[in-house]
Amino acid sequence: MYTAVTDGIEVKVAPEYAAERSRPESGEFFWIYEVEIRNHSSDTVQLRARHWEITDGFGKTQHVRGLGVVGEQPILKPGEVFRYSSGCPLTSGHGIMVGTYEMVAADGRRFEVAIPAFSLDTPFVARTVN
Protein backbone atom coordinates (compact mmCIF):
# COMPACT_ATOMS: atom_id res chain seq x y z
CA MET A 1 0.00 0.00 0.00
CA TYR A 2 1.33 3.43 -0.98
CA THR A 3 0.00 6.59 0.73
CA ALA A 4 0.21 10.37 0.26
CA VAL A 5 -1.65 13.19 2.05
CA THR A 6 -2.14 16.69 0.59
CA ASP A 7 -4.23 19.38 2.28
CA GLY A 8 -6.09 16.77 4.31
CA ILE A 9 -6.87 14.54 1.31
CA GLU A 10 -5.35 11.07 1.72
CA VAL A 11 -4.73 8.89 -1.34
CA LYS A 12 -3.86 5.20 -0.91
CA VAL A 13 -2.95 2.93 -3.83
CA ALA A 14 -2.57 -0.85 -3.86
CA PRO A 15 -1.26 -2.27 -7.16
CA GLU A 16 -1.39 -5.95 -8.09
CA TYR A 17 0.06 -7.76 -11.09
CA ALA A 18 -2.73 -9.35 -13.15
CA ALA A 19 -1.16 -12.54 -14.50
CA GLU A 20 -4.44 -13.67 -16.07
CA ARG A 21 -4.53 -10.51 -18.24
CA SER A 22 -0.81 -10.57 -19.12
CA ARG A 23 1.12 -12.31 -21.88
CA PRO A 24 4.81 -11.97 -20.98
CA GLU A 25 5.91 -13.98 -24.03
CA SER A 26 4.35 -11.23 -26.19
CA GLY A 27 5.63 -8.34 -24.06
CA GLU A 28 2.20 -7.61 -22.59
CA PHE A 29 1.98 -7.01 -18.84
CA PHE A 30 -1.05 -5.74 -16.91
CA TRP A 31 -1.65 -4.41 -13.40
CA ILE A 32 -4.83 -3.64 -11.50
CA TYR A 33 -4.66 -0.90 -8.89
CA GLU A 34 -7.13 -0.04 -6.17
CA VAL A 35 -7.35 3.61 -5.08
CA GLU A 36 -8.89 4.98 -1.90
CA ILE A 37 -9.39 8.74 -1.52
CA ARG A 38 -10.32 9.92 1.98
CA ASN A 39 -11.26 13.48 2.92
CA HIS A 40 -9.70 14.31 6.31
CA SER A 41 -10.20 18.05 5.75
CA SER A 42 -13.07 20.22 6.96
CA ASP A 43 -14.01 21.18 3.37
CA THR A 44 -16.23 19.43 0.86
CA VAL A 45 -14.15 18.72 -2.26
CA GLN A 46 -14.73 17.40 -5.76
CA LEU A 47 -12.23 15.44 -7.80
CA ARG A 48 -12.32 17.11 -11.22
CA ALA A 49 -9.35 15.72 -13.18
CA ARG A 50 -6.39 13.35 -13.09
CA HIS A 51 -2.84 13.38 -14.44
CA TRP A 52 -0.77 10.20 -14.48
CA GLU A 53 2.90 9.76 -15.36
CA ILE A 54 3.50 6.13 -16.25
CA THR A 55 7.10 5.04 -16.82
CA ASP A 56 7.89 1.56 -18.09
CA GLY A 57 11.02 -0.50 -17.49
CA PHE A 58 12.60 0.92 -20.65
CA GLY A 59 12.35 4.50 -19.33
CA LYS A 60 9.52 5.53 -21.67
CA THR A 61 7.05 7.87 -19.93
CA GLN A 62 3.41 8.39 -20.91
CA HIS A 63 1.26 11.24 -19.60
CA VAL A 64 -2.42 10.44 -19.19
CA ARG A 65 -4.82 13.30 -18.46
CA GLY A 66 -8.57 13.28 -18.20
CA LEU A 67 -11.66 14.38 -16.38
CA GLY A 68 -12.52 12.54 -13.19
CA VAL A 69 -11.74 8.89 -12.56
CA VAL A 70 -13.54 5.85 -14.00
CA GLY A 71 -16.19 8.15 -15.48
CA GLU A 72 -16.94 9.93 -12.21
CA GLN A 73 -16.11 13.26 -10.58
CA PRO A 74 -16.86 12.31 -6.97
CA ILE A 75 -17.76 14.85 -4.30
CA LEU A 76 -16.33 14.05 -0.87
CA LYS A 77 -17.71 15.66 2.27
CA PRO A 78 -15.47 15.74 5.35
CA GLY A 79 -14.81 12.17 6.49
CA GLU A 80 -16.07 10.54 3.28
CA VAL A 81 -14.19 7.98 1.19
CA PHE A 82 -14.25 7.17 -2.53
CA ARG A 83 -12.77 3.92 -3.85
CA TYR A 84 -12.20 2.75 -7.40
CA SER A 85 -10.21 0.22 -9.43
CA SER A 86 -8.41 0.70 -12.70
CA GLY A 87 -5.65 -0.91 -14.71
CA CYS A 88 -2.41 -0.24 -16.50
CA PRO A 89 -0.82 -2.14 -19.40
CA LEU A 90 2.94 -2.01 -20.00
CA THR A 91 5.31 -3.59 -22.52
CA SER A 92 7.86 -4.32 -19.79
CA GLY A 93 7.68 -6.42 -16.63
CA HIS A 94 8.08 -3.44 -14.34
CA GLY A 95 7.42 0.28 -14.16
CA ILE A 96 6.25 3.09 -11.94
CA MET A 97 3.19 5.32 -11.76
CA VAL A 98 2.76 8.68 -10.04
CA GLY A 99 0.28 11.49 -10.49
CA THR A 100 -2.05 14.17 -9.22
CA TYR A 101 -5.76 14.78 -8.86
CA GLU A 102 -7.16 18.24 -9.45
CA MET A 103 -9.61 19.00 -6.67
CA VAL A 104 -12.05 21.88 -6.21
CA ALA A 105 -13.19 22.94 -2.75
CA ALA A 106 -16.76 24.11 -2.12
CA ASP A 107 -15.52 27.74 -2.10
CA GLY A 108 -14.12 27.32 -5.66
CA ARG A 109 -10.47 26.98 -4.64
CA ARG A 110 -8.58 24.61 -6.95
CA PHE A 111 -5.65 22.54 -5.70
CA GLU A 112 -3.67 19.46 -6.65
CA VAL A 113 -3.50 16.33 -4.52
CA ALA A 114 -0.52 14.00 -4.85
CA ILE A 115 -1.03 10.40 -5.92
CA PRO A 116 1.89 8.52 -4.37
CA ALA A 117 4.47 6.94 -6.66
CA PHE A 118 3.97 3.18 -6.77
CA SER A 119 5.89 0.41 -8.46
CA LEU A 120 4.49 -2.06 -10.93
CA ASP A 121 6.49 -5.26 -10.61
CA THR A 122 5.89 -8.74 -11.94
CA PRO A 123 6.82 -11.59 -9.64
CA PHE A 124 9.49 -12.81 -12.08
CA VAL A 125 11.37 -9.55 -12.84
CA ALA A 126 14.28 -8.61 -10.59
CA ARG A 127 13.96 -5.16 -9.05
CA THR A 128 16.83 -2.73 -9.47
CA VAL A 129 17.51 0.54 -7.73
CA ASN A 130 19.24 3.24 -9.76
Confidence of residue 39 (pLDDT cuts 50, 70, 90): very high
- Inform me whether the pLDDT recorded for 130 exceeds 70: no
Looking at residue 127, what is its pLDDT? 57
Structural domains in the chain, CATH included, are: 2-121 (2.60.40.1470)
pLDDT of residue 123: 85
Contact of 1 with 35, CB cutoff 8 Å: no
Give the mean pLDDT of 36-57: 97
Q: How far is Cα 27 from Cα 53, in angstroms, rounded to an integer?
A: 20
% helix, strand, coil for the chain, step of 5 = 5, 65, 30
